[in-house]
Amino acid sequence: MDLLDTLTDKGLRRELPTREEALAVLATTDDELLDVVAAAGRVRRQWFGRRVKLNYLVNLKSGLCPEDCSYCSQRLGSKAEILKYTWLKPDQAAEAAAAGVAGGAKRVCLVASGRGPTDRDIDRVADTIAAIKGADEQVEVCACLGLLSDNQAERLKAAGADAYNHNLNTSESTYGDITTTHTYADRVDTVAKAHGAGLSACSGLIAGMGESDEDLVDVVFALRELDPDSVPVNFLIPFEGTPLAEEWNLTPQRCLRILAMVRFVCPDIEVRIAGGREVHLRSMQPLGLHIANSIFLGDYLTSEGQAGQADLDMIKDAGFEVEGAEQTTLPRHRATASAGGCGGGASVCGSSDSACDGDSGCGGHKDASACGPCGGPSTEEGSEDEARTDLVRVRRRGAGTELAPNA
């Protein structure tokens, strides 16, 4: 098909597609789906081979957030029955991180709910980074703490952080529909602060909040303009007790088209499948690996993922390999440009619970329940019948509990 040939050629040349071409990917039919995955897979293999980067979330502080992000289980007024606890001590966080690293994770994402960190919070996180890197200096650390004030990004960089995650989540025109306690511009400013401090910037989106195709293309093009090293793609987890609990708008096919569109717009950027992977892609998760080159291992911030060993088995069975600590994530041209920030251009984590982002990872927690009545829900036939509410499981193990983590 001419569209896919054009997009593949552009991706191999690192050339930005047009908005019309990006929209056309989302409009492809189920009969064309495997062709779409194959085309995006060619671009993925050009820049990332068959490597899959594993990231591991540590929820440093869970729940009780003063922000009102509609998709987030930790939001102000949330009735979701999630774990709630204050800051983990550095040794507790380091112990949780070690479990993820032992399972194959190359990056640890440190996430804390809230509007943004205080200076004392930055000190806490600095101590946690020291504890984690004291045990393994090769581990990449990404912080996801919410909106940053002046000089806080520089302090995190000095403390040893490699990256900072803060997601845009949805288009600027619809942002006010999902959050009223901060603005889209606030988020853009925090990503700019991370960039300015020499941190590898990670910023992504949440799909499935009722947004239109145009909204999805708008936010992905905005992300491309911000030029992050990694883009986490979260799929809304509709948590009971949140305003978006009834937003079941995604099918596995829709998720794959969204991932492909992101890959064509961001051909040489780390694309991470973040929150909602197990809930919405389900048995088609391995196809997602042909498009994205990064996932979270094990559980998310407030929800459970599939078993860590199942993640590893899936990667192996699909013919991919786990990226090692000695390997550089980004292509040479991006790694060189990012060397001042993330040591080898390591990519960042992404979630949708971050500082009230959802639950997919840092800044887009691995539970990402997205928001956004910005357009009609998906009209794909059968989407309502395929809702798997039974797959939404609140995390009851790992950080903040007495049970072993899932990694």
Q: Spot the catalytic one: 75, 109, 254, 334.
A: 109
Residue in 44, 51, 72, 342 annotated catalytic: 72
380 with 249: CB under 8 angstroms?
no
**Residue 395 falls in the annotated catalytic set:** no
Non-local CB neighbours of 338 within 8 Å, separated by 6+ positions = 200, 229, 330, 344, 345, 346
To the query of whether residue 72 is one of the catalytic residues in this protein, the response is: yes
**Catalytic residue, candidates 44, 75, 263, 272:** 272
202 is catalytic: yes
Q: Which ranges constitute the DSSP H helices of 49-118?
A: 90-102
d(CA 236, CA 280): 9
In DSSP terms, 295 is beta-bridged to: 54, 273
Whether 65 is catalytic is yes
Rounded CA gap, 362 and 146, in Å? 9
Count other C-beta atoms under 10 Å from residue 158's C-beta.
11
Single out the catalytic residue among 44, 51, 65, 257.
65
Catalytic residue among 44, 124, 142, 371: 142
User: Would you list the DSSP string of 169-221?
Assistant: BS-GGGGGGT-SSS-HHHHHHHHHHHHHTTPEEE--EEE-SS--HHHHHHHHH
Contact 69, 357 (CB under 8 A): yes
What are the tokens at 259? 């991932």
> What is the separation, in whole angstroms, between the first and last Cα of the chain?
41
Q: What is the largest CA-CA distance in the chain?
A: 56
Contact criterion met (CB below 8 Å) for 194 and 203? no
- Cβ proximity of 229 and 348 under 8 Å: yes
- Taking alpha carbons only, the member of 299, 357, 395 closest to residue 116 is 357
* 109 labelled catalytic: yes
User: Residue 193: which residues within 8 A CB-CB, separation 6 or more?
Assistant: 148, 150, 152, 153
Cβ contacts of 399 within 8 Å, gap of 6 or more: 58, 59, 60, 62, 88, 92, 93, 96, 405
Which of 144, 202, 342, 371 is labelled catalytic? Answer: 202
Residues assigned a catalytic role: 65, 69, 72, 109, 142, 202, 272
